[in-house]
Chain A
Amino acid sequence: MTTVLSGGADPLISLTGVSKRFPNGTLALDNVSMTVPKGQLLSLIGLSGSGKSTLMRHLNGLHKPTAGTVQVFGVEVSSASNKQLRSVRRNVGFVFQQFGLVGRATCLENVLSGALGRLRGPRYGVWSYPRTLRREAFDHLERVGLAPQAYQRADTLSGGQMQRVAIARTLMQQPRLLLADEPVASLDPESSAQVLELLLKVATEDKMTVIVTLHQVELALGWAHRIVGLRDGRVVLDQDARGLSQTDVMEVYRRVDRESELLATPNMSAAAPTTERQRA
């Protein structure tokens, strides 16, 4: 496990002192530093508003940091040119809580839009994509079990099915890194389990590095190598998932509940850098 955890000489992602202050004054990330090695399954936990989504969006340049640097695949995302940024994004799959499908378009069209990064020029409608890509899109739909729905409009599907289409769209990118932001938060328990299982399966089969934010702690512990807890934009927990108990993890949530800053701050924020240094 430790070999997977350690960043090694060539980490896939490395953040150094990343802070993000939004125009409205909110400090969403506060001096976050971490590295993620290739092949790791990392789970980000924390309350809503703790900065998880913001952190994810820094990794593919949807947000730019106010301070610090974000490196993905060795590219400095925070100062990358549009072209570099697009090439980073092409290799980073992003699965959203709200799926981000175009409801009026068919599933096949939605999956095909995942190939736009590889193509030049705007495309509209299935016919505007090369036939090889259409075949590929069909394959990905098959992989997520939705080939029969290829020509159905995306908004006729159930939530779980929509998220699977979104995963197929991500597969179309053949990503090296997969970011999943609350991928199952708007699904019922049964579909959640299905979607998470699928996500894990394709990620391991295709040897992707995965960062996923989850509300369900037991799920996070179940399949992640490493757990990182965020609170108020700061890393307050960063440990090997093995050996972590659910109650340990719940601390990340509970301490905020009590709003008792005095108790929370010293232990946790001190703990995080040490654990990381120990690992490295």
Chain B
Amino acid sequence: MTAAHVEPLARAAGNRLPRAPRKWQSKALLAVFVAYVVGVVWSWTYIDMTLLTLFGGFTELWNLVVDMVPPNVDNMRVVLKATVETIWMALIGTTACVVLSIPLAFMAARNTTPNPVVFAVARAIITLTRALPTLVLAAVLTLPLGIGPLPGLLALAIHSIGMVGKLFTEAVENTEAMSREAVTSTGAGKWQTVLATLVPQVTPSFIGTALYRLDINLRESAVLGFVGAGGVGFVVQQHLRSLDYQRAIAAVGVIFVVITLIEVVSTRLRASIIGDHLSSPTKKTPRTMARERRDHRLLVDAVTTRRLTPPWTYERLVRASAGVIYLVLIVVAFATIDIPYLSALGLGDEVIDSFGRLFPPDFTTAGPELWQGIRETVAIGFIATTLGLVISVPLGILSARNIVVNRFVYGTTRLFMLALRGLPELIVAVLFVAAMGLGPVPGTLALTVGTATFMAKLIGDALEEVSPEPREAVFATGASRAQEFVTSVIPQALPNLVSQTLYMLDVNLRSSTVLGIIGGGGIGFLLLSALRVLQEPTVGAIVIVIFVIVYSIELIGTFVRWLVE
């Protein structure tokens, strides 16, 4: 092997792998790894999931599938009505969250915050809103607000602030300062400067984030019905309860189609807004060329006649119509959603009252069960992550274009994963519970499926992004395909894989706190039973426990990510 072969390999490895960590850090990483393994082994024995239960689960699932065909669509009117409500909830919830997040972001960004106190408070709000899962928040809000979409969309709005506020803040902090200094120098006031220089810079990323969150909220809002907080989830649950599987699958099908459609639309919109290339697409078709000619003519006309308003170029038309469509939709949403606005205004006191009744929290009534719930929640998270990872590796390799040369294998794998990702995890979970009965196993399996498809996509994408030079270098030495894969692809993709696994563990532990609400095991089950019998202090205790679990996961996650990087 000559130096020419070694050099690119070493360089790529040097770029991708974390720099040699200091001694205590590598020790800490080792400890994290050991803790993870111990966690998995303990979880496995705790839930007592043998391979037999797994395969037994598959036969039960198959039975459910058989029971579900053919889907029964005679209830479509109700399903569609509930689905529309689901969409409106997501739309209003996301809008409310964006409206709240914009001022928060400017207060929480280092370069725009007015003073340190505001800064700290805004940061705290953004972190804390994230710590209660939407479903838990919605369930608790049904106490004062009753059954209906109002608690659901409020829960969506509040929980989303965590992510949207954080991303908005980062967008504000990532703006360049030069134009700000320049406009300040012209004698413009503080807010004039912010509006003239910062706002144009952050708008695309704000809209992109909002659209992304709309996707997520649509998925969340589809399951809010499980706790009576509005939307199509309620219909699915009713049908499943009455063992009417054919109607249930029809409703699930509608959810799938709607979610996929909206995701496709929002992804395209996001790409065009963030990519900045609405008017200059990569492919030049006669239509796009005609469009460009028209735009050019408009621009020339505008400047030669010195028009004092910008011309209506294609890009501007698209943007403006997107804005108008959004406004129409949000107005329709507010007008048609089933919220008693006037009486809702008077509910403020009741919300405060009701939250007051959660305190002081009562940890003793549910004492041992609470402890058991925590352990089960953690166990589900560990098993689902590990099992999902194990499944995702072959799945991901099959879905990487540059590794699998067979187009058919690649295509079917990607399609299969896309279909599975199209459904919210909790919908999958509720189907699994219907097939296998209550308990942690169906919940774990549902999270496993979610993890496996998500990780497989990441692995597939990461493998496709692996830089080709080291691979070529290894091939050039006469290595076989398998040798080449082990020596050059894996080392390049490993650090990313590790941090994504940690991220999945984080996500799964969060999800497993709510799985119990639909009978999938973990602490959520306790929450639902306490809510049913209105044991408010116990609800308070459970909410605090969930909060602490999620918050400590976030802290540990941040620490470990810091260690890895």
A residues contacting B by CB (< 8 A) are 60, 62, 86-94, 96, 98-106, 108-109, 113-119, 121-124, 126-127, 131, 134-135, 138, 147-152, 166, 169-170, 172-173
A-B pairs with the 5 shortest C-beta distances? Answer: A117-B187, A100-B182, A90-B187, A116-B188, A89-B187
Sampled A-B contacts (23; CB under 8 Å): A62-B184, A62-B185, A88-B187, A93-B185, A93-B186, A94-B182, A99-B182, A100-B183, A101-B179, A109-B196, A116-B192, A117-B188, A121-B192, A127-B309, A134-B308, A135-B308, A138-B308, A148-B300, A151-B302, A151-B311, A169-B182, A172-B186, A173-B187
- Tell me if B187 and A151 are in contact (CB < 8 A): no
B195 touches A87 (CB 8 A): no
Contact of B178 among A96, A115, A169 (CB under 8 A): A96
CB contacts under 8 Å to A, within B183-220, are 183-189, 191-197, 199-201, 203-204
Contact of B185 among A94, A98, A104, A150 (CB under 8 A): A94
Tell yes or no: B18 within 8 A of A by CB. no
Partner of A102, one of B192, B200, B309: B200
Cβ-based interface call for B181 (8 A): yes
Shortest beta-carbon distance from B155 to chain A in Å: 32
B310 touches A116 (CB 8 A): no
Quick one: which of B158-182 are within 8 Å of A by CB? 178-182
How far, in angstroms, from A134 to B303 measured CA to CA in the complex? 12
Across the interface, name the chain A residue whose C-beta is closest to B185: A94
Contact partner of A114 (CB less than 8 A), chosen from B186, B189, B302, B308, is B186
In the complex, what's the smallest C-beta–C-beta distance from A226 to chain B, in angstroms?
Answer: 23
Q: Is B299 an interface residue (CB 8 A)?
A: yes
In the complex formed, the residue of B with least CB distance to A149 is B303
Given contacts A102-B201, A166-B182, contact A123 B192 (CB under 8 A): yes
**Nearest CB on B from A139, distance (A):** 9
- Nearest A residue to B183, CB-CB: A113
**CB distance A169 to B181 under 8 Å?**
no
Q: Chain B contacts of A169 at CB under 8 A? A: 182, 186
User: B195's contact among A62, A101, A122, A151, by CB below 8 Å, is which?
Assistant: A122
Does chain A have a CB within 8 A of B22? no
Question: CA separation between A38 and B194, bound complex, in Å?
Answer: 33
B23 near A: Cβ within 8 Å?
no
- Whether B200 contacts A104 by the Cβ 8 Å rule is yes
Q: A100-B179, A151-B299 given as contacts; is B306 within 8 A of A138 (CB)?
A: yes
Query: In the complex, are the beta carbons of A116 and B186 less than 8 A apart?
Result: yes
Report the bound CA distance from A131 to B192 in whole Å.
18
User: Taking beta carbons and an 8 Å cutoff, which residues of B are in contact with A?
Assistant: 178-189, 191-197, 199-201, 203-204, 299-300, 302-303, 306, 308-311
Which one of B181, B186, B195, B300 lies within 8 Å of A124 (CB-CB)? B195
Give the distance to chain B from A56, nearest Cβ to Cβ, in Å. 10
CB contacts (< 8 Å) of A118 on chain B: these are: 187
CB-contact partner of B196 in A88, A98, A113, A152, under 8 A: A113
Neighbour of A90 across the interface among B180, B186, B306, CB < 8 A: B186
A138: chain B residues at CB < 8 Å are: 306, 308
A113 touches B188 (CB 8 A): yes
Q: A100-B181, A102-B179, A138-B306 are in contact. Are A123 and B186 (CB under 8 A)?
A: no
Closest beta carbon of chain B to A200's beta carbon, Å? 20
Residues of B within 8 A of A122 (CB): 189, 191-192, 194-196
Per the bound structure, the CA–CA distance linking A87 and B188 in Å amounts to 9
Provide the residues of chain B in CB contact with A116, threshold 8 Å: 183, 186-189, 192-193, 196
- Could you tell me the distance between the alpha carbons of A26 and B181 in the complex, rounded to whole angstroms? 21
Q: B181 touches which one: A86, A96, A105 (CB < 8 A)?
A: A96
**Which residues on A sit within 8 Å (CB–CB) of B187?**
86-92, 116-118, 173
Most chain A CB within 10 A, of B178, B185, B299, B303, is at: B185
Contact A151 B310 (CB under 8 A): yes
Contact present for A124 and B199 (CB under 8 Å): yes
Hey, which chain A residues are within 8 Å of B189, CB to CB?
A: 86, 116, 122
Do B186 and A113 have beta carbons less than 8 Å apart?
yes
Bound CA span A116–B179, Å = 14
Contact B309 A126 (CB under 8 A): yes
By beta carbon, the residue of chain A nearest B307 is A151
How close is B121's CB to chain A, nearest CB, in angstroms? 24
> Given A121-B192, A151-B303, are A99 and B178 neighbors across the interface (CB < 8 Å)?
yes
Min distance, Cβ B95 to any Cβ of chain A, angstroms: 20
In the bound complex, CA of A149 to CA of B201 (Å): 20
Q: Which residues of A contact B178 (CB under 8 A)?
A: 96, 98-100
Question: Nearest chain-A residue to B308 (Cβ)?
Answer: A134
Contact for A126 among B183, B194, B299, B310, CB less than 8 A: B310
Contacts of B309 in A (CB 8 A): 126-127
Bound-state CA distance A91–B311 (Å) is 32
How many angstroms between the C-alpha atoms of A124 and B193 in the bound complex? 10
Minimal beta-carbon separation of A119 from chain B (angstroms)? 7
Report how far A62 CA is from B300 CA in the complex, Å.
Answer: 39
B299 & A152 in contact (Cβ 8 Å cutoff): yes
Residues in A with CB closer than 8 Å to B195 are 122-124
A122-B191, A124-B195, A138-B306 known; A89 vs B299 contact (CB < 8 Å): no
Tell me, in angstroms, the Cα distance from A99 to B183 when the chains sit together: 11
CB-CB under 8 A from B311, the residues of chain A are 151
Per the bound structure, the CA–CA distance linking A9 and B65 in Å amounts to 96
**Which B residue sits closest to A138, measured CB to CB?**
B306
Q: Which residues of B contact A149 (CB under 8 A)?
A: 303
Do residues A150 and B182 form an inter-chain contact, with CB atoms below 8 A?
A: no
Across-interface contacts of B185 in A (CB, < 8 A): 60, 62, 89, 92-94
CB within 8 Å for A89 and B310 given contacts A116-B196, A152-B299: no
Per a CB cutoff under 8 Å, which of A87, A104, A106, A134 touches B201? A104
Task: Find chain A residues with CB under 8 A from B194 CB.
Answer: 122
Query: Contacts A123-B195, A148-B300 given; 9 further ones with Cβ under 8 A?
Result: A89-B186, A100-B178, A100-B181, A104-B201, A123-B196, A124-B195, A151-B303, A151-B311, A173-B186
Residues of B within 8 A of A99 (CB): 178, 182
> Once bound together, how far apart are the Cα atoms of A152 and B303, in whole Å?
10
A94 to B181, CA, bound (A): 10
Bound-state Cα–Cα, A199 to B199, Å: 30
Closest to B203 in A: A104
Residues of B within 8 A of A135 (CB): 306, 308
Measured in the bound complex, the distance between the Cα atoms of B195 and A123 in whole Å is 7
Bound-state CA distance A98–B182 (Å) is 10
B43 to chain A minimum Cβ distance, whole angstroms, is: 49
A123 to B189, CA, bound (A): 11
Rounded to whole angstroms, the CA-CA distance of A105 and B193 in the bound complex is 13
CA gap between A113 and B196 in the complex, in Å: 7
Q: In whole angstroms, what is the CA distance A93 to B311 when docked?
A: 30
Q: Bound complex: CA of A118 vs CA of B310, how far in Å?
A: 23
Rounded to whole angstroms, the CA-CA distance of A36 and B99 in the bound complex is 50
Which among B191, B204, B302, B310 has the highest number of chain A CB atoms within 10 Å? B310
- Do A124 and B308 have beta carbons less than 8 Å apart? no
Q: How distant is the Cα of A122 from the Cα of B178 in the complex, in angstroms?
A: 19
Residues of B within 8 Å of A89, CB to CB, are 184-187
Q: Which residues of B contact A117 (CB under 8 A)?
A: 186-188
Query: CB-nearest residue of chain B relative to A96?
Result: B182
Q: How far is the CB of B66 from chain A (nearest CB, A)?
A: 56
| Distance in angstroms between the alpha carbons of A151 and B295 in the assembled complex | 11
- Inter-chain CA distance A127–B199, complex, in Å, is 16
Among A89, A122, A135, A170: residue with most chain B CB under 10 A: A122
> Distance in Å from the Cβ of A44 to the closest Cβ of chain B?
17
Which residues of chain B are near A102, meaning CB under 8 Å? 179, 196-197, 200-201
Docked complex Cα distance between A177 and B84 (Å): 61
Q: State A173–B186 Cα separation when bound (angstroms).
A: 7
B188 to chain A, nearest CB (A): 3
